[in-house]
Structure 1
Amino acid sequence: MIGFPKTERLRKRPDFLAVSRQGHKYHSVHFIILLLPSGSTVTRVGITASRKVGNAVVRNRIKRLVREFYRQHKELFHQADYSIIAKRGAERLDYQGVCQDLIPVLRRSLGKQC
C-alpha cells in the first residue's frame, strides 16, 4: 500500500520531543532530518514547517511535497522515527528539488544506522 496512514505518522508532541532530544541530526540544504531508531517495526515520520518558511499555504505545500516524497521513497526509510524540519528556502522547491535534497541525506543516514 502506498499511502501515509496514521500508524506511520508522528502525531504527539512528546514523540517529536523525544526524536529531537535523543535522535541523530542530519542536515541538507533545505531540511533538517532527526532520526531516532526505534524498537518497533513501523517507520514513523513527522513533518514540521515553521512560520519562518512562509505563510500557511506555503507551509502546507512543503509538507505535501515531503509526504509525497515519503510515499514514493519508503525504501530509504528504515524502522525509526523521523522528524523532517523545513528550513528557510524550502518554499522555493518543487518535488524534484525535494528529492534531490533529501535522497543523499537519507542514504547517508542509512549507511550510518545499519
Structure 2
Amino acid sequence: MTSPRFPRTARVRARSDFDRIFQHGRRVALPVLALHWQSGEGEPRLGLAVSRKVDPHAVGRNRIKRALRETFRHLRKDLAAGDYVIVARPEAARRSGAELGEALQGLLRRAGALPASAPAGTMPAARIPPSTPDACSG
C-alpha cells in the first residue's frame, strides 16, 4: 500500500458487500454522515452512498463523493483493515469539502478505526515537581 492512488481494489462495489456491511457492520452517525464499518483483513476499502435525497443534482452528489474519497485516500494508510461505507445525509449538501473531510475523520475516530491525533506541539508537556517548604527558603 505504498501508492497514494485510490485503485478499484480499494472500493466496495458489489451490492452483496454493501448489504453485508449494512447488516453486520458497526454504525456511527452524525447529522451530516453515517459510517458503517466491518473489520476484516487486507487493505481498507471504501463504499459511498449518496442518494438524490441528499442533492437532486448530480454535480452536488459528485462533489460530496469526491471530497469523501479524497479524505479517505489520505487516511487510508492509518486506518484499521476492513470495509467502510459512508452514507451521506441531506445536511452534507450544505457543507464544504473541508467540513465533510473533518466529519469523516471524526466518525472514523469515534468508530475506533483511526487512532486519536497527537496533541499539537513538538515538546512533551512539562511536569512541575511538587514544591517543598524547605527548598525555597533562603
> Is the contact between residue 67 and residue 98 of structure 2 (CA under 8 Å) also seen in structure 1?
no
Partner of 2:45: 44
Question: How many percent of aligned residue pairs carry the same amino acid?
Answer: 33
> For this pair of structures, how many residues does the alignment match?
111
What letter corresponds to residue 17 of structure 2 in structure 1? D
How many Å apart are 1:17 and its aligned residue?
A: 0.4
AA aligned to 1:53 is: V
Counterpart of 2:29 in structure 1 is 27
2:6 maps to amino acid: F
Aligned to 1:94: 96
Greater relative contact order structure (CA < 8 Å, 6+ sep): 1
Q: What is the CA distance between 1:28 and its match in structure 2?
A: 1.7
What's the CA shift for 1:77? 2.3
TM-score (norm 1): 0.89
State which of 106, 116, 125 in structure 2 corresponds to 1:104.
106
Deviation of 1:84 after TM superposition, in Å, equals 0.4
Flag the structure with higher helix content. 1
**Normalization by structure 2: what TM-score?**
0.75
Q: Aligned partner of 2:112: which letter? A: L
Letter paired with 1:44: R
Show the 5 A alignment for 1:6-85. 6-38=8-40, 40-54=41-55, 55-85=57-87
- In structure 1, the residue corresponding to 2:109 is in which secondary structure? helix
1:2 to 4, 15, 36: 4
Instruction: Name the Cα RMSD after superposition.
Output: 1.6
Runs of 4+ in structure 1 over 2 Å off = none
